């Protein structure tokens, strides 16, 4: 029995800042970002949007476009690192919002949970749902990935920002792609990228040594949450490379593959914090797993690094990138980082490209190299099913991205600093964050959403 992705829908922030605009404002050569990293636009949430909104919009589209009955769904599992609450999961919000559209109790039978492991949380959620469907082939599950990638102004991650969500229906005998039951993992506890609880003392805030109450805080230390991470870009790249390399060769051993594993894949889909991350990180694996390996493992550290760099600039590797990696990149160039949704948007991008070009990839294998900081990689593969082209066309991926509204740099900074009070683009046929409770003692911080026609 096959299990995998039967249907897919997405919702991406409708505002964007051209990367060239950001580059000029930050005194960065635009070609460094556009041609060097593959960045063209970064999408940004409007004032009425958060991770719940994006997830709910993607899920609503999935249900509407595929016209299935809520009673068919047994679980809604969410992959995110942009939770709005430390206890109440986004999954529970989604159940509540779907019941606003489909009737009270219509989703009460669904199991709902969030999974968090940086950018790989959505893959974890999908693997869990695949296992569930294999045990219960008459059941269906939904995976939602939803995130807002936000970095500090003037940081080295600023130009990789993005926002949006994907929703995927997981079933037996799927129409889009069947996922193999073989998975390889590499995990190591590191601090390459993380979002800690930060603290300041009342003395730092109020200039007093006395522990007077401050907006309900009785403790002398005030805890602060920031959407922006603490990260080390170079170290994170190394962790990305190490984890994916280890998981890749574990998967090759698991599958007992003779010769090059990657040559058996029509496309390779990787986590893309920026569009060209995959092609930059895969060169080492390309050299190690070639039919005639280009690295022996006996080189010095300096020689090894120099050889990988040489390989990455070779004609053979450029051809490989064009054949295996490039199809997943265009959507990332126009959206930015989607964290947990990045790898699935890469899949949708590749399928949309094949459909546009008239390339039949039915029964072809696709390799997936997922990564999440902290850090973990999972490698797995899927076989494209005969309904893939119809699904890709139904998604209208690039047609939707063309409708994005450009904003100027001043507006971008106001949004980032949360100085913008009103919506820039008026919502239509979508969910919005209506309000956050600020007065009722037993509901402080509760978030309320509504559907806007």
**Tens digit of pLDDT for each residue in 428-440?**
999 999 999 999 9
Residue 403: pLDDT above 90? yes
- Catalogue the E-assigned strands of 129-286: 140-149, 162-172, 177-179, 184-187, 193-194, 198-201, 221-224, 230-231, 267-270
**Nearest of 76, 56, 7 to residue 427 by alpha carbon:** 56
- Catalogue the E-assigned strands of 188-260: 193-194, 198-201, 221-224, 230-231
Mean pLDDT of 257-269: 97
Question: Are 319 and 433 within one domain?
Answer: yes
* Local structure of residue 341 (DSSP, 8 states): G
Q: Quote the crossing angle between the two packed helices 342-357 and 388-395, to the nearest 10°.
A: 110
CA triple 405-157-193, angle to 5 deg: 130
Q: How many CB atoms lie within 10 A of CB 433?
A: 19
Residue 295: predicted pLDDT? 87
Question: Are 20 and 74 within one domain?
Answer: yes
**Residue 264 CA from chain centroid, whole number:** 25
Taking the alpha carbons at both ends of the chain, their separation in whole angstroms is 41
Question: Are 207 and 187 within one domain?
Answer: no
Residue 202: predicted pLDDT? 87
Q: What tokens were used for 48?
A: 């009425």
Please check whether residue 16 is in contact with residue 43, taking contact to mean a CB–CB distance below 8 angstroms.
yes
| % of the chain exceeding 70 in pLDDT | 100
**Partners of 371 in the β-ladder:** 377
> Given the structure tokens 């020689």, which residue do they identify?
303
Residue 214: predicted pLDDT? 86
Question: Are 245 and 276 within one domain?
Answer: yes
**Nearest of 140, 145, 124, 36 to residue 368 by alpha carbon:** 124
Please check whether residue 15 is in contact with residue 44, taking contact to mean a CB–CB distance below 8 angstroms.
yes
Question: Are 357 and 428 within one domain?
Answer: yes
Mean pLDDT of 159-186: 98
Mean pLDDT of 193-204: 93
Q: What tokens were used for 354?
A: 């094949």
Is 279 in a helix, a strand, or coil?
Answer: helix
pLDDT tens for each residue of 345-367: 999 999 999 999 999 999 999 99
Mean pLDDT of 223-242: 96
Question: Are 261 and 383 within one domain?
Answer: yes
pTM of the model: 0.97
Question: Are 209 and 307 within one domain?
Answer: no
Nearest-angstrom CA–CA distance, 273 and 169: 24
- How many domains does one find in the chain? 2
The dihedral sign for the CA sequence 127, 129, 132, 136: negative
Strands 140-149 and 162-172: antiparallel
Residue 434: predicted pLDDT? 97
Question: Are 123 and 153 within one domain?
Answer: yes
Question: Are 96 and 15 within one domain?
Answer: yes
Residue 205: pLDDT above 90? no
Among residues 173, 207, 224, which one ends one of the domains? 224
**Containing H/E element for 306?**
helix 301-312
pLDDT tens for each residue of 131-156: 999 999 999 999 999 999 999 999 99
Question: Are 368 and 442 within one domain?
Answer: yes
Question: Are 301 and 414 within one domain?
Answer: yes
Residue 170: predicted pLDDT? 98
Residue 210: predicted pLDDT? 84
CATH assignment of the domain containing 124: 3.40.47.10
pLDDT tens for each residue of 276-306: 999 999 999 999 999 888 888 788 989 999 9
CA 390 → CA 106, 142, 172, 236, 270, distances in Å?
A: 29, 20, 18, 37, 23
pLDDT tens for each residue of 73-118: 999 999 999 999 999 999 999 999 999 999 999 999 999 999 999 9
Residue 298: predicted pLDDT? 84
* Average pLDDT along the chain: 96
Q: What tokens were used for 267?
A: 């496309």
Please check whether residue 165 is in contact with residue 51, taking contact to mean a CB–CB distance below 8 angstroms.
yes
Mean pLDDT of 9-27: 98
What's the domain range around 105? Answer: 3-192+232-452
Question: Are 213 and 309 within one domain?
Answer: no
Residue 206: pLDDT above 90? no
| % of the chain exceeding 90 in pLDDT | 93
Nearest-angstrom CA–CA distance, 107 and 104: 8
Residue 240: pLDDT above 90? yes
Strands 365-372 and 267-270: parallel
Among residues 224, 246, 278, which one ends one of the domains? 224
């Amino acid at each position: 029995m096959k299990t995998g992705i039967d249907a897919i829908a997405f919702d991406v922030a409708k505002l964007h800042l051209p990367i060239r605009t950001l580059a000029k404002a930050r005194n960065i050569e635009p070609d460094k970002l556009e041609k060097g990293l593959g960045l063209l636009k970064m999408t940004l949430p409007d004032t009425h949007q958060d991770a719940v909104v994006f997830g709910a919009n993607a899920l609503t589209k999935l249900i509407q476009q595929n016209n299935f009955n809520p009673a068919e769904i047994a679980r809604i599992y969410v992959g995110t690192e942009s939770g709005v609450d430390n206890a109440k999961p986004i999954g529970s919000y989604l159940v509540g919002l779907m019941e606003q559209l489909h009737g009270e109790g219509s989703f009460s039978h669904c199991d709902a949970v969030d999974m968090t492991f940086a950018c790989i949380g959505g893959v974890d959620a999908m693997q869990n749902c695949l296992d569930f469907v294999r045990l219960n082939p008459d059941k269906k599950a939904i995976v939602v990935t939803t995130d807002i990638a936000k970095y500090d102004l003037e940081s080295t991650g600023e130009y990789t920002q993005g926002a949006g969500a994907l929703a995927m229906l997981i079933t037996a005998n799927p129409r889009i792609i069947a996922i193999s039951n073989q998975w390889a993992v590499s995990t190591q506890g590191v601090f390459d990228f993380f979002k800690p609880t930060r603290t300041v003392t009342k003395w730092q805030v109020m200039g007093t040594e006395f522990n007077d109450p401050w907006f309900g805080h009785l403790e002398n230390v005030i805890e602060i949450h920031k959407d922006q991470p603490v990260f080390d870009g170079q170290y994170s790249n190394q962790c990305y490379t190490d984890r994916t390399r280890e998981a890749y060769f574990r998967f090759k051993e698991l599958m007992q593959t003779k010769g090059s594993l990657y040559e058996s894949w029509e496309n390779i889909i990787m986590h893309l914090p920026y569009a060209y991350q995959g092609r930059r990180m895969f060169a080492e694996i390309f050299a190690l797993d070639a039919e005639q390996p280009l690295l022996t493992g006996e080189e010095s550290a300096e020689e090894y690094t120099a050889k990988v760099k040489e390989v990455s600039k070779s004609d053979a590797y450029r051809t490989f990138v064009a054949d295996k990696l490039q199809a997943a990149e265009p959507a990332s160039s126009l959206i930015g980082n989607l964290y947990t949704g990045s790898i699935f948007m890469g899949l949708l991008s590749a399928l949309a490209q094949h459909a546009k070009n008239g390339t039949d990839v039915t029964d072809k294998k696709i390799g997936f190299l997922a990564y999440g900081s902290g850090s973990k990689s999972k490698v797995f593969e899927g076989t494209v099913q005969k309904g893939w082209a119809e699904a890709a066309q139904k998604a209208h991926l690039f047609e939707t991205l063309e409708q994005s509204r450009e904003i100027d740099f001043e507006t971008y900074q106001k949004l980032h600093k949360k100085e913008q009070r009103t919506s820039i683009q008026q919502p239509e046929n979508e969910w919005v964050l209506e309000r956050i409770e600020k007065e009722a003692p037993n509901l402080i911080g509760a978030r309320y959403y509504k559907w806007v026609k």
